[in-house]
Amino acid sequence: MTAAREDIPIAADEDVVRVRQIVRSFAQRAKLSLVDQTKLVTATSELARNTLTYGGGGAAVVELLGEGRRQGVRASFQDSGPGIPDTALALTDGWTSGRGMGLGLSGARRLVDEFDLDTEVGRGTTVTVVKWSR
Amino acid sequence: MTIDTGRSDNLADLLRTNTAALTARWVEVAAATLRGRLTTAELERELAELYNALLAGVDSGSRDVAAEPYAELRALLTDMSRRRARTGFSPSETAVTVYALKQAVFELIDNDAVEGGLREVVAFSRLLDAFGLQTFESYAKAREEVIDEQAEQLLELTTPVVKLWDGVLAVPLVGTLDSARTQVVMEKLLEALVTTGAAHAIIDITGVLAVDTQVAQHLLKTVMAARLMGAECTISGIRPHIAQTIVALGIEFGDITTKSSLADALRHALRRSGVEFTAAERRR
């Protein structure tokens, strides 16, 4: 596996596991520290599960980034679900529209270096995160 | 005009009159690709059965693989790919066994220059292609079944409840915690608490690669359930990078006792049940 980009459909629980494994291997290739690897893997695990649970399934794209001397991993999760009506509320700790802990989206944002949430009600949601090596 | 049926009979005739030669050549070609992993006798039996079923189908005049006359052949092929999938053959090797008959027939047609051969050959070739594809499908299905079985076995295998001390149970968790596995873990732990009368349970997550909110939620629920049954529950094996991630994620374990290692958790449990540790005094 040497591709710098991997597309993973998310349609079942097993796919969340697969996303985690692929992100972990990309994080290792980007030479992220063990802590950063774990943080990125955990964040993508949350986002992949959100895509599945709230977006009704979708796809993930994991990419290896190189910018000068630092390397990073970008993961983006796209669904065509109902979208998020109130992003500020969705990013509040402890708030959930489902049955989770309400920490997935807000927690994921704290675990990564760059976080981008693009959503429109009725069109779907795309969340992109980046973690850089230090 | 009955050209089509006439030609069909042509093919049927060809297959029937050359049964012995064709099956022998088929076995020969197929055996070459299997490199001796099946004995010739086994292969002969298998292919003779297939050949007879194919002949019966072709004899009916139908060239549609989904049609009734080919039902027996389809069943035989499914059986064959299942057997092969379980004994570790690759899907190509299984399909090639079917395609080997093409070679045998084509060689024969070449030699005999059968009249009006081309249309015949195309129809026959299409027929065999479809059957080859079917072996692929059955093969994939059989493999999926094997995988499902293994997943179920893993679910059972990877969640042992072990007794560490009188009244102290431990559940070492390894790998991925999903809802199904957590359910199994919870059930086993609660059952073991009842049967052993243990007052302490330790859930060790040293082998869990990542703790996200779902895993944490599952863990918390298990601990709460154990508490409701009157047992004290400790979570151990929280490694530094997991701890930092849990903090950043914002998960709170509340008043649940957590320890970095199983040894610490055991010491804690023993202390709580009144066992004292003293260094044995050296007697002269």
Residues in a beta bridge with A120: A124
Q: Spell out the residues 6+ positions from residue B245 whose beta carbon is closer than 8 angstroms to its own.
A: A35, A38, A39, A42, A111, B210, B211
pLDDT over 70, % of chain B: 90
- Residue A17 with chain B: CB contacts under 8 Å: 176, 178
Asked if B126 and B237 sit in the same domain, the reply is no
CA distance B215 to chain A (A): 10
pLDDT band at B3; cut points 50, 70, 90: very low
Residue of chain B whose Cα is closest to the Cα of A101: B213
Q: What's the pTM value of the predicted model, to 2 decimals?
A: 0.63
Hey, are the CB atoms on B250 and A42 less than 8 Å from each other? no
- pLDDT score of A3: 74
- Residue A42 with chain B: CB contacts under 8 Å: 210-212, 245, 249
Domain boundary among B126, B151, B176: B151
Q: Does any CB of chain A come closer than 8 Å to the CB of residue B122?
A: no
Mean pLDDT of B144-164: 77
Asked if B175 and B127 sit in the same domain, the reply is no
The per-residue pLDDT of chain B, averaged, comes to 82
Asked if B175 and B130 sit in the same domain, the reply is no
Asked if B185 and B144 sit in the same domain, the reply is no
Hey, are the CB atoms on B213 and A107 less than 8 Å from each other? yes
Asked if B190 and B140 sit in the same domain, the reply is no
Residue of chain B whose Cα is closest to the Cα of A44: B212
Please state the ipTM of this predicted complex.
0.81
- pLDDT score of B281: 67
More confident residue, A132 or B136: A132
Domain boundary among B105, B122, B151: B151
Tell me if B69 is assigned to some domain.
Answer: yes
Asked if B30 and B141 sit in the same domain, the reply is yes
Tell me if B284 is assigned to some domain.
Answer: no
Q: Which two tokens stand for residue B204?
A: 């060790």
Asked if B201 and B88 sit in the same domain, the reply is no
Q: Chain-centre distance of CA A101, in angstroms? A: 17
- pLDDT score of B135: 83
Hey, are the CB atoms on A20 and B213 less than 8 Å from each other? no
CATH no. for residue B245? 3.30.750.24
Residue of chain B whose Cα is closest to the Cα of A14: B178
Q: What residues make up the domain containing B79? A: 3-151
Asked if B49 and B108 sit in the same domain, the reply is yes
- pLDDT score of B112: 61
Domain boundary among B131, B151, B171: B151
CATH no. for residue B52? 1.10.490
Tell me if B282 is assigned to some domain.
Answer: no
Residues of A with CB under 8 A from a CB of B: 13, 17, 20, 24, 34-35, 37-39, 41-42, 45-46, 49, 93, 100-101, 103-104, 106-108, 110-111
Residue of chain B whose Cα is closest to the Cα of A20: B210
The number of folded domains in chain B is 2
Tell me if B169 is assigned to some domain.
Answer: yes
Asked if B11 and B126 sit in the same domain, the reply is yes
CA distance A65 to chain B (A): 23
- pLDDT score of B61: 79
Asked if B133 and B49 sit in the same domain, the reply is yes
CA distance A119 to chain B (A): 22
Which domains does chain A carry?
A: 5-132 (3.30.565.10)
